[in-house]
Amino acid sequence: MLILTDYNKPYMIENLLSPVVPKHYWIFSGQMQDFMLAPISYLEETSGPSLTIEVDGFRFNVPAHWNILIVDKETYQIDTVPIRSCSSHETYAFIMSPDDYGVNKKMITVCGYNNHEVLCHPLMAKGQALCHPIGEVEKYGKELQLSIVITPHDLNKFIDGKAVGDILP
């Protein structure tokens, strides 16, 4: 899987045996209700069914049982929902960038299902979510890295009733 590094570039973690160059990666902390850098202390594999999703033209695979941080396009309330539920209705992913605090959202499309896949990623504590890069956009005269927020955990107990403005400065 891809992570967003401390130097704001995507980095692919392909397996547990390859050396990992970055020492920190971007996460969303449900407890702190903020985006922050976390140390890469341990890698883990998630094996089982996966979904191929597309966000803003970028396709990638995620574990089918994971959740995604979404935003309501009218009220701007945030929520975490199972990624598999994004196939049944129009859903917008919350998009973050370490260099831009504007409100960004992009539609999620579920494109495929894989019976078994092994995906490697850093260990995330309960209440944490991974910022998964989806591409760059030029803004303010520089390239900004955009990421969605995915997690094996349900963050609703931390963000219940919150809106985008509650987690952005």
Q: What is the per-residue pLDDT for 13?
A: 96
Q: What local confidence, expressed as pLDDT, does residue 78 receive?
A: 96
Number of Cβ within 10 Å of residue 130's Cβ equals 24
Does the domain spanning 2-167 belong to CATH 2.170.16.10? Answer: yes
> Would you state the structure tokens that stand for residue 98, as one six-digit string?
């370490």
Instruction: Please list the rounded mean pLDDT of every run of 10 residues in the chain (169 residues).
Output: 96 94 97 95 96 96 97 94 92 93 90 96 96 91 93 95 88
Helix %, strand %, coil % of the chain (to 5): 10, 60, 35
Name the residue ranges covered by the structural domains of the chain: 2-167
Q: Nearest Cα to 135, choosing from 121, 119, 148? A: 148
pTM of the model: 0.94
Q: Which helix (H) or strand (E) holds 164?
A: helix 164-167
Number of neighbours of residue 10 by Cβ within 10 angstroms: 16
